[in-house]
Amino acid sequence: MSTYYLACDFGAESGRLMLGTLDGGKLALEELHRFPNIPLDNEEHGLHWNIQELFAEVQKGLAIAGARGLPISSISVDGWGVDYFLLDASGEIIEPTFCYRNERNQDGVDHVFSKIPWEQVYAQTGIQFIKFNSLYQLGAETPERLKQAATVLPLGDGFNHLLCGVAKAEASMASTTQMYDPRTGNWSTPVLEAMGWDPSMLAEIVPSGTRLGILKPELADASGLGDIEVIATCSHDTGAAVAAVPSTPGEDWAYLSSGTWSLIGLELPEPIISDRSRELNFTNEIGYGNSIRLLRNVTGMWVVQECRREWEKLGQSYDYAQLAQLAEEAEPFVTLINPDDDCFFSPDNMIQAIDDFCRRSNQTVPATHGAYVRCALESLALLYRRRLEQAAELTGRTLKYLHIVGGGSKNALLNQFSANATGMEVIAGPAEATALGNIILQAITLGHVKDHADGRRIIRESMDVEVFQPQDASTWETAYEQFSKFGA
């Protein structure tokens, strides 16, 4: 007998509603509805999210699902970390919901560090410094907005709240805020006290795989879905993606969730919070079953995405397969960049940012579109090597396999570059890891799948992967020496 689940997955470029079908020990996915996710921008607020429009698109997806007439068991939302809803006392959203790329973030950093030093923040939370973490975004809020706010609710959990009316912060998402202590499993009292924030303002934390409630009556009726359950699986999209990594037991593998951002690291039983992990800026986020995702959040396909956007403005449109082909035809190792350099975070023009980096580092400016893409992909693969070497240093593990999941796993050229750069066997896929993790955790929560190990087995046996073996070791070693000069 088949069982059915809905995963609502919000990414930095788009959102979608996915139908998961579990039948005979195999899991299948179908995209029901996809919609763009582009932040609004104006002089008053800067970059912020159009939450009303996004939720209207979710409701369109629910109606499409309801029209199928299937006995759907449950739904869960996942999304990117660090952004949040502010809810008033009646549970309504206080607009705007700011985007993590908003220029206000530096003001928040300055405000937080005037109250509590960075070393203490890291000692309490074990989360890497990124200036858009929720802690700094809250630090940039006006006193008026904070006074009006009854609840701070991470974004993915915020959409679960819109579905069922229950406002809880799921642990994997809470851990991204830099206000969570991974050793106690609760909000960090020292951090909140230093900021003068009432801990009751933050939503109650619940573990991954919590049954929140049923779909609101008006949504149930309008969609035709009825009283399906809303479950907090891993509300953080990377937490869901890592839950779907089709690994076998052992400590010799790493993961890379590859998309706009690249999340690269290891799955551990306990956090590593030390002076050295702070120096290397590694983060300790929560995974399913209270596991630890020791990782670095690094720039991923963002550089390529922004180059593509600039070329579209000039009248030249490419799909990602075409860009990969152009890169493959370009000359190797003409130019390298540090994708994590601040100049690539949110430039007005990514092409110009690459050109400026090349001039500052006395390198040849890319001459063709393919050269720009090849530069970005080669540099990204070398950055992966650096981060995996650092993760191995922190844990003492010897790594042999790199599981690449997410949309970036479809980029065969980057996968091969990653194998070449790291010297590790790369296992690419599934591309839909976030939705798969979301759905398999729903199935576990409802008792339809035995446990996480069984869930990973089901994904391993249901989805195709592609394996890439390292090549051209000496050439990539030389490139790594050059890349190492850029301070990544």
The count of other CB atoms within 10 Å of the CB of residue 259 is: 25
pLDDT surpassing 90 at residue 346: no
270, 193: one domain: no
Q: How many domains does the chain have?
A: 2
The per-residue pLDDT for 12 is: 75
pLDDT by residue (tens digit) across 38-61?
999 999 999 999 999 999 999 999
> Is there a domain that residue 437 lies in?
no
The per-residue pLDDT for 13 is: 81
pLDDT by residue (tens digit) across 211-257?
999 999 999 999 999 999 999 999 999 999 999 999 988 999 999 99
Last residue of a domain, one of 182, 203, 237: 237
Arithmetic mean of pLDDT, 109-132? 97
The count of other CB atoms within 10 Å of the CB of residue 393 is: 13
174, 263: one domain: no
Arithmetic mean of pLDDT, 404-421? 96
> Is there a domain that residue 445 lies in?
no
Last residue of a domain, one of 210, 237, 264: 237
> Is there a domain that residue 371 lies in?
yes
The CA–CA distances, whole Å, from 151 to 14, 161, 192, 199, 232 equal: 26, 12, 14, 10, 18
> Is there a domain that residue 444 lies in?
no
The CA–CA distances, whole Å, from 401 to 64, 163, 254, 466 equal: 40, 39, 6, 13
233, 335: one domain: no
Last residue of a domain, one of 217, 237, 257: 237
Which residues form the catalytic set? 237
Peptide bond into 143 cis (omega under 30): no
Arithmetic mean of pLDDT, 392-404? 97
> Is there a domain that residue 311 lies in?
yes
The per-residue pLDDT for 260 is: 86
323, 206: one domain: no
> Is there a domain that residue 443 lies in?
no
140, 180: one domain: yes
> Is there a domain that residue 434 lies in?
no
273, 291: one domain: yes
DSSP-derived letter for residue 42 is E
75, 143: one domain: yes
DSSP states of 219-254 as a string? HHHHHT--S-EEEES--BHHHHHHHT----SSSSEE
pLDDT by residue (tens digit) across 2-14?
999 999 999 878 9
148, 227: one domain: yes
50, 154: one domain: yes
Containing domain of residue 62, as a range? 3-237
The per-residue pLDDT for 409 is: 95
| CATH number of residue 160's parent domain | 3.30.420.40
Arithmetic mean of pLDDT, 254-277? 95
Arithmetic mean of pLDDT, 377-385? 98
pLDDT by residue (tens digit) across 143-154?
999 999 999 999
Taking alpha carbons only, the member of 8, 26, 27 closest to residue 65 is: 8
pLDDT by residue (tens digit) across 299-343?
899 999 999 999 999 999 999 999 999 999 999 999 999 999 999
263, 222: one domain: no
> Is there a domain that residue 81 lies in?
yes
204, 305: one domain: no
Taking alpha carbons only, the member of 34, 17, 134 closest to residue 81 is: 134
Average pLDDT of the chain, as a whole number: 96
pTM for the full predicted model:
0.92
Tell me, what amino acid is at 362? N
227, 79: one domain: yes
- N- to C-terminal Cα distance for the chain? 51
